[in-house]
Every structure is written in structure tokens, then in C-alpha cells.
């Protein structure tokens, strides 16, 4: 049930949002990056799209790519991949180190929804979101199913989130 305040915030929000996608993978290319392709397609249905890039699981490269997108006035950065427990998986630690504000609810809801879909394996689902320099960053696992789950949670709420992040 939507509250009056939430409805008012939605009415004050704009769909004029610029988004970008970063896929972290040591093995994928842009051509076989199904998760990044899915995010690009979903974004283009509703919002403006800046770019989609595939980079290796490297902390410095992720941080630099985020800075480049912010310099290009990207409002929402969606990252996929690099969220596992391998030593090479650096997405969560990197982006959380940048956040000015963390959006705790995204990871919580994502894991809950994942649990409903896949059971206790959801314990391994690391996802996070936050605001950095007034841009929203959402980081999710790299599997296509995880990306679809995350998209259902955030895609319609982006105008409302961006509205608050940019105040």
C-alpha cells in the first residue's frame, strides 16, 4: 500500500534519468554479457542510457569507471558481477567504500526475494546500493536470474530514489 507521502514524492520525481551499466568479469565480453544486455534493454524502455562497459574484477578499474560515469552526469549506475566470495570478487567492498549514503533496503529485499526464488542459496547473494556524489549505484550478482530479480525491485522506483539522492 502506497503512502500519501510516497505518492507525492513519485509525482515530484522525473523519469529523465541517465543510466549506465558496468559488468565485472574476468571472462565475459560485451557480446556474451547476458546480464548487462538485459539491464541495458530494461533501462532503454523507461530511461536514458549512457553506456555499458565490461571490465575485469579490478578495484581501481571499477572506481575509475564509476568516476567516468559520474563525470558524464550518469544518475544511476548498475553493476553486475564481482559480488561473490572469491578473492577476485571486489564489487561490494569497492562500491561500499565510495558510498556517501548506503541504501540498505536494496540488499535486504534482494536477498529476501532471492530466498523465495532459490532457497537458502540466497545466503551467498551479495548485493548493495548507495549514493555517491549524488549518483545512485546498485550492485547485483552477475547471473541473469539475479539481474532480473534486482531489476523488478528497483527499475520502477528509480525516479523516486534519484529524486531523493539529488537533493
DSSP state of 50: E
Residue ranges per domain, the chain?
16-165
For the stretch 87-119, pLDDT in tens is 999 999 999 999 999 999 999 999 999 999 999
- pLDDT for 78 beyond 70: yes
Among 151, 142, 126, residue whose Cα is nearest residue 35: 142
SS3 20: strand
- The fraction of the chain above a pLDDT of 90, given in percent, is 90
139 pLDDT more than 90: yes
SS3 4: helix
pLDDT for 101 equals 98
Residue 28 DSSP code: -
Q: Domain 16-165 class?
A: alpha beta
**pLDDT-derived band of residue 11, with 50, 70 and 90 as boundaries?**
low
Task: Please identify which residue in the block is written with the cell numbers 530514489.
Answer: 161
Give the pLDDT score at 58.
97
**Rounded to whole angstroms, how far apart are CA atoms 33 and 57?**
14
- pLDDT (tens digit, 9 = 90+) per residue, 13-71? 688 999 999 999 999 999 999 999 999 999 999 999 999 999 999 999 999 999 999 99
Residues with Cβ within 8 Å of 56's Cβ and at least 6 positions away in sequence, in order, are: 24, 25, 26
Residues 6+ apart with CB under 8 A from 85: 124, 126
Q: What is the pLDDT of residue 1?
A: 60
Does the pLDDT of residue 144 top 80, yes or no? yes
Closest CA to 39 of 128, 114, 143: 143
Amino acid at each position: 500500500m502506497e503512502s500519501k507521502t510516497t505518492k507525492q514524492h513519485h509525482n515530484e520525481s522525473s523519469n529523465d534519468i541517465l543510466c549506465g551499466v558496468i559488468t565485472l568479469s574476468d571472462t565475459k565480453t560485451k557480446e556474451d554479457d547476458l546480464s548487462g544486455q538485459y539491464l541495458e534493454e530494461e533501462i532503454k524502455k523507461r530511461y536514458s542510457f549512457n553506456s555499458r562497459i565490461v571490465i575485469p574484477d579490478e578495484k581501481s578499474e571499477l572506481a575509475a569507471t564509476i568516476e567516468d560515469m559520474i563525470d558524464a552526469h550518469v544518475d544511476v549506475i548498475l553493476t553486475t558481477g564481482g559480488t561473490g566470495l572469491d578473492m577476485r570478487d571486489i564489487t561490494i567492498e569497492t562500491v561500499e567504500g565510495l558510498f556517501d549514503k548506503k541504501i540498505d533496503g536494496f540488499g535486504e529485499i534482494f536477498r529476501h526475494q532471492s530466498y523465495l526464488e532459490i532457497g537458502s542459496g540466497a545466503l551467498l547473494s551479495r548485493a548493495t546500493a548507495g549514493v555517491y556524489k549524488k549518483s545512485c549505484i546498485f550492485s547485483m550478482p552477475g547471473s541473469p536470474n539475479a539481474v532480473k530479480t534486482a531489476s523488478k525491485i528497483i527499475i520502477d522506483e528509480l525516479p523516486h530514489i534519484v529524486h531523493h539522492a539529488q537533493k
